[in-house]
Each structure stands twice: as structure tokens, then as C-alpha cells.
Structure 1
Amino acid sequence: MAIPNEKLQQLLQEISSKAQFAEQQLGIVNTQIASKKRESRRLQLSDTEMDALPTDTPVYDGVGKMFVLTSTGDVKNRQAKEAEDIKKELANLDKKQHYLETTFKNSQEHMEQILKRGG
């Protein structure tokens, strides 16, 4: 049973728009993942530098537009919490990336199948 041309065009248009949306979102997610990885690396480097300092070294932590004298332990705790948050965000972004890649791939395959049957 053949699908009418109007329905076929409408179906192709819907699948195409879904694929374009998935591709756009995939680009955004990839950018966010790269940003989170840079942030994680910055925290890791900062932690390494903090380990090299003597424990009684005065450390200043940025708060808004000013700096506050804090202990190295407080800074390390804050950075550890940030690193854990970044890990969770990266895990969520990886799931989203996988979903969008699958959606895009499936949309492309559906369009190819429709075109092969319609042609």
C-alpha cells in the first residue's frame, strides 16, 4: 500500500525537523561537555597546587568581586564539592548526548527508508 505524496512529504518534513533539532542540541551538549571538562581540569590543577603548599600558607578565596582569607582545608573542601557536582553534570550530559545521537541516527535511518520505499 503506497503512501500519498502529501503524507509522505509531511512525514519527511517532521522527521527532518526532528533530526535538525537533535543535531542542534547535540552541538550544544558537546560544547557544555567540553566546558565542564575544562572546569574539572582547572579544579584538578588547583588541587595539585594546593597540595604543594605548606598547611599554614594564607589562601584567598574569591567571593564575588573580593577575596576572603580562608584556610586551605576550606578551599579544598569547596573544590571537592564542585568537582563532585561537575562529575554528576557530566554524567547527565553524557546521557543526554547518547540520547540525542540515537535520535539523530534513527531519524536519518527513517528518512532513508522512506525515500527508498517512496522512490
Structure 2
Amino acid sequence: MAAPIDLELKKAFSELQVKMIDTQQKVKLADLQIDQLTRVQKHAKLTHTEITTLPDNTRLYEGVGRMFILQSKEEINNQLMDKQKTADEKIKELEQKKVYLERSVKEAEDNIREMLLSRRAQ
């Protein structure tokens, strides 16, 4: 009678191990993406602060591939603000994803603990 329960526990542990490894990889990926987005956000913010100090008649160019396009100060400021907003939204999404992943692993661990406790009670 003990053999089927042991196989069930072994299967549950192997599933948990696979889930933990997968989740850890996803969390690391999310952390890397958050770091990259914070750098993009910081770059856009610094560029925006520098541009605001320039006189309004200054000619500003946007780099596109290997060329530069003349843009108005307002257009560049709008693009930088959009970049900051987009990065901020993506960071929030990634942080929510991380919380969800960590919660799902904790739930799986709790399920296995319950399984162990029920086995010991028998």
C-alpha cells in the first residue's frame, strides 16, 4: 500500500522541481527585463532634462538607423515622455508577473506539504 503513495509523492516532487526551475528562470528573465527597462527609462529622463535646458530655437536631430532627422523640440520631448510611460507600464506588468510566479510556486510547495502531512497521518 505504501508503494503507490511513494510513487505519487515522487511524481509530485518531480513536478514541483520542474515548476521551481521554470519559475526561477522566468523570474530571472523578468528581473533582467526590469533592469533594462529602468535603464531605458533613466536614459529618456536624463535626455529629457537636458533638452528642456536648451533654447527653443535649437535644432534637434533624432537618430534613425545611420541617419539623423530634424525634429522639433516638442516632438522629441513627446517621444521621450512616451518612452518613459511605456517603460513604466512594462515594469509594473513584469513585477505583477513575478508576484504571480512566486505565489504559484508557494502554492505548489504548500500542496506537497499537505500531501506529506496526510501521508504521515495514515
TM-score normalised according to structure 1 size: 0.86
The root-mean-square deviation of aligned C-alpha atoms, in Å, is: 2.1
Instruction: Flag the structure with more relative contact order, 1 or 2, with Cα contacts below 8 A and sequence separation at least 6.
Output: 1
Distance in 2 (CA, whole Å) between partners of 1:20 and 1:4 is: 24
**Structure 1: 5+ residue runs without aligned partners?**
none
What is the identity percentage for the equivalent residue pairs of Structure 1 and Structure 2?
26
* Paired amino acid for 2:8: K
1:29-70 per-residue CA deviation (whole Å, 9 max, x = no partner) reads: 011011101110000000000011111111110112211111
Aligned length: 119
1:77-110 per-residue CA deviation (whole Å, 9 max, x = no partner) reads: 1111111111211111111011112223333444
Judge conservation of contact 1:16–1:107 (CA < 8 Å) in 2: no
State the shift of 1:111 in Å.
4.5
* Paired amino acid for 2:7: E
* Paired amino acid for 2:81: A
* Paired amino acid for 2:79: R
**Structure 2: 5+ residue runs without aligned partners?**
none
Q: Which residue of 1 aligns with 2:45?
A: 44
Distance in 2 (CA, whole Å) between partners of 1:44 and 1:109 is: 43
TM-score normalised according to structure 2 size: 0.85
Distance in 2 (CA, whole Å) between partners of 1:86 and 1:106 is: 30
Secondary structure of 1:67's partner? strand
